[in-house]
Amino acid sequence: MYFRRGFFIIVLLTVFKSSLIAGYLYKDEIIFNSLFKSDIEKLGSELYQKTGVSLRLIMLKKLPDNTNIVAYEKELIKDFNEPTILLTFSEIDLKVDILANDTSLYTLFDKKQVLSPVASPIQAFIMALFYSEGWSSFKEIATNSNGTIIPLLAQKAKDDELLGKYSGAMFNGYADIAEQIAKSKNVVLENAVGNANQNSIFFVKILFYGFILYGIFLYIRRKLYIKRQNLE
Whether 139 shows a pLDDT value over 60: the answer reads: yes
Which one is predicted more confidently, 183 or 136? 183
Task: Give the model confidence (pLDDT) of 81-107 as tens digits.
Answer: 999 999 999 999 999 999 999 999 999
Q: Angle at the Cα of 78 (from 73 to 82), degrees rounded to 5?
A: 110
Contacts of 21 (CB under 8 A, 6+ apart): 79, 80
Instruction: Answer for the pair 74, 99: CB distance below 8 angstroms, yes or no.
Output: yes
Packing angle, helices 195-231 and 121-131, rounded to 10: 50
Contacts of 79 (CB under 8 A, 6+ apart): 21
Report pLDDT for 6: 46
Which one is predicted more confidently, 202 or 129? 129
User: For the chain, what is the mean pLDDT?
Assistant: 82
Whether 15 shows a pLDDT value over 70: the answer reads: no
Cα 108 versus chain centre, distance = 15
Instruction: Answer for the pair 72, 64: CB distance below 8 angstroms, yes or no.
Output: yes
Beta bridge partners of residue 57, listed in sequence order: 25, 87
Which one is predicted more confidently, 92 or 227? 92
- Across residues 11-24, what is the average pLDDT? 49
What domains does the chain contain, in order, with CATH numbers? 21-231 (3.10.310.50)
Which one is predicted more confidently, 144 or 216? 144
Report pLDDT for 202: 47
